[in-house]
Chains A and B, each alone.
Chain A
Amino acid sequence: MDNEKDILEVRNLQVNFKTYAGDVKAIRNVSFDLRKGETLAIVGESGSGKSVTTRTIMGLNATNADIVGGSILYKGQDLLKKSEKDMQAIRGQDIAEIFQDPMTSLDPTMKIGRQIAEPLMVHKGMKKEKALAQALEMMKLVGITDAENRINDYPHQFSGGMRQRIVIAIALINYPEVLIADEPTTALDVTIQAQILNLMKELQNKISTSIIFITHDLGVVAGMADRVAVMYAGKIVEYGTVDEIFYNPKHPYTWGLLSSMPTLDSSGDSLPSIPGTPPDLLDPPTGDAFAARNEYALKIDTEKEPPFFKVSDTHYAATWLLHPDAPKVTPPAQIVERQKKYAQMQKAWLKAQQPTTPVEEEEEQQ
């Protein structure tokens, strides 16, 4: 796991929010790595801690946030130990963020050319004319039509999709090493979403940025991510490559997420759903936080928290079902289909490549 290709390493991060009712344990021991040039998707429901994780990386948490423990290593340096002044130098320069809502994340009183050029003037001390010239180039790069004439327009003169392109241009103007995209397309229509996602992929190829992509849309994840981390109640419960998570998921929560999304082929009377609601993080339950909503829950799930079990070198899941002593269970029908497809893909892949150690997958396919 630790190698020099990791650009960002989050280790045992714990974040609480102080409220009148007590401490909300929003992030409970989260660890992950981000490698050079890859896209890591973090998926999960609202309240699972995806946005808090990235806001902690950016140092943009609300004032009642309390970082209880852990470290965030960016190129070997701990961001949590940096002063606010140091963080200001990093933010928008090395690590940049595309915010969710293009309607509210732009300054309505500032011309967009100026907004795109601002990071250059702040971080590189560039003169205004030069910065604006570079902003114009960036506007063309992100596909804002008629850029020369629109550089002096205000945000309200643009459509939602164009505004999101402006937000992307601002985030990319300094060619950041790490780009955090927090639901960048959730507010957009599917056709515009497709354009923005293609644009992000294209730009990633050009400047080899690493992207942390936060979304709850598994369709978007399937198209964008190299690796996926699934979060639930402030913890990562499963992570692996995009194929491993979509075709060979091991955690019941991932099963639930994948099967509760209708595909264009699903039909039938009722959609598999995850019953209940996420737990209250003021007082997280003992054991596995998902146990109360999990039809596959074992007795131990309510007593002891499951550790990560290794599925393959790149794939880990925190569920007691992977323990050697656990009873064998059959996942929902949709997941069994996916696993069959995965087995076929692996066969084809093994034929094409030199044989390597096959992933253990007989466990749940009886």
Chain B
Amino acid sequence: MDYENAEKILEVKHLKQYFNVGKADEVRAVDDISFDIYKGETFGLVGESGSGKTTTGRAIIHLYEPTSGEILFDGKNVDSFTSKQDQRDFRQEMQMIFQDPYASLNPRMKVKDIVAEGIDINHLAKDDADRTKKVEDLLETVGLNKDHSSRYPHEFSGGQRQRIGIARALAVNPKFVIADEPISALDVSIQAQVVNLMKKLQREQGLTYLFIAHDLSMVKYISDRIGVMHYGRMLEIADADEIYAHPLHDYTKSLLSAVPVPDPEFERTREEIAYDGSQENDGKERHLVEISPRHWVRAASDEVSLYKQRAQAASLIKE
């Protein structure tokens, strides 16, 4: 991707998403994160369960009121849409693909009505014939047969259902798609099919993806840039290849070292690196700092030199 002339489509600024604010069980699911997503790229968000990656995705599509911070989509603050029309436009431009293809399709609706629901709400079809044609085109785009349109979800396999979910998201011509673990419920041989489909659609329609997942090898494969989350904080952001080849933050190193690789020879010698999470809670103020070009690490002011050294050792920066 050419980042020199890239345009920002989404800016997340100091987003905080707390639950049960002020109570004893207050949860800081997302704690002051900032990042940008550029037009046409795939931004991968990885982290363990409970790290806040799903909450971040849901906050971006405005399923929650953020506790504080701003989310700018195409330069406009998502939180301040007042007119019905603005809200409707936003919902049309940003769509979501859900994790569980078994739970996210209404079992009592036919496929054509599931896919066309957004078309109906946004009045995108001129008449019935146009609606039918749009649905059939969409099904074809995602690799399903147009005869499938009058069937019910239970008649499809997991991979096919996920394709229906993708067709539904694409029905309203979105610019930005949030995919929350779109392949974790699928079999290995089917995962590759769905990932290839998502890549193809991105090329053809210029989509921007936020891809949330815990399967690190798949995230690396599909993403241009990756953000690593832990305890509701963003610890490191860099280009996908770079973050895997030269992770700078200890947590990223630890996370990558735990990924099993389908290579017995490698597995025999793989060593896991432990990570002590308490080092993040020593009270020092930390921010994302750009250590090398487009490689950000969350660091306190006295840690910056350490990360710079690491980056130099990996020859990410000269000097």
**Which A residues contact B (CB, under 8 angstroms)?**
45-46, 160, 189-194, 197-198, 216-223, 242-243, 246-247, 256-258, 260-264, 266-267, 269-275, 277, 341, 345
A274 to B200, CA, bound (A): 17
A221 to B264, CA, bound (A): 8
CB-based nearest B residue for A220: B260
Q: B214 near A190 (CB under 8 angstroms)?
A: yes
Taking CB atoms, residues of chain B closer than 8 Å to A221 are 262
| A–B pairs, 9, beta carbons within 8 Å | A45-B187, A190-B214, A222-B266, A223-B260, A257-B188, A260-B192, A261-B192, A264-B216, A277-B160
Is B267's beta carbon under 8 Å from chain A? yes
A247 to B214, CA, bound (A): 27
Taking CB atoms, residues of chain B closer than 8 Å to A242 are 264
Chain B residues touching A, majority SS: helix
Taking CB atoms, residues of chain B closer than 8 Å to A267 are 221, 241
A356 to B244, CA, bound (A): 40
Contact partner of B272 among A194, A246, A345, CB < 8 A? A194
Taking CB atoms, residues of chain A closer than 8 Å to B220 are 262, 264
Contact partner of B263 among A194, A246, A277, CB < 8 A? A246
CB-based nearest A residue for B48: A189
The stretch among B107-115, B251-259, B294-302 that forms the contact with chain A is: B251-259
Is B191's beta carbon under 8 Å from chain A? yes
In angstroms, how far is the closest chain A Cβ from the Cβ of B185? 10
Contact partner of B189 among A193, A243, A274, CB < 8 A? A274
* With known contacts A190-B214, A191-B254, A260-B189, A222–B263 Cβ distance under 8 A: yes
A269 to B197, CA, bound (A): 11
Interface centre among B157, B195, B263 (most CB of A within 10 A): B263
A183 to B260, CA, bound (A): 14
Q: A222 near B258 (CB under 8 angstroms)?
A: no
Contact partner of B265 among A198, A271, A277, A345, CB < 8 A? A345
Contact partner of A246 among B190, B262, B275, CB < 8 A? B262
Q: B261 near A222 (CB under 8 angstroms)?
A: yes
Q: A193 near B262 (CB under 8 angstroms)?
A: no
Taking CB atoms, residues of chain B closer than 8 Å to A194 are 258, 260, 272
Q: B195 near A263 (CB under 8 angstroms)?
A: no
A274 to B262, CA, bound (A): 18
Count of B interface residues, CB-CB < 8 Å: 41
Supplied contacts A191-B255, A243-B265, 11 more A-B pairs, CB within 8 Å: A46-B187, A160-B49, A219-B261, A221-B262, A222-B261, A242-B264, A260-B188, A264-B259, A271-B221, A277-B190, A341-B265
Taking CB atoms, residues of chain A closer than 8 Å to B191 are 260
Is B196's beta carbon under 8 Å from chain A? yes
**Which B residues contact A (CB, under 8 angstroms)?**
48-49, 157, 159-160, 187-193, 195-196, 199-200, 214, 216-218, 220-221, 241, 244, 254-256, 258-268, 270, 272, 275
Q: B263 near A263 (CB under 8 angstroms)?
A: yes
A198 to B272, CA, bound (A): 10
* With known contacts A189-B214, A277-B157, A243–B264 Cβ distance under 8 A: yes
Q: A191 near B221 (CB under 8 angstroms)?
A: no
CB-based nearest A residue for B193: A273
Taking CB atoms, residues of chain A closer than 8 Å to B190 are 45, 273, 277
In angstroms, how far is the closest chain A Cβ from the Cβ of B109? 23
Interface centre among B196, B200, B268 (most CB of A within 10 A): B196
A294 to B183, CA, bound (A): 23
Q: B263 near A262 (CB under 8 angstroms)?
A: no
CB-based nearest B residue for A277: B157
A310 to B241, CA, bound (A): 41
In angstroms, how far is the closest chain B Cβ from the Cβ of A20? 15
Q: B187 near A218 (CB under 8 angstroms)?
A: no
Taking CB atoms, residues of chain A closer than 8 Å to B221 are 262, 266-267, 271
In angstroms, how far is the closest chain B Cβ from the Cβ of A101? 14
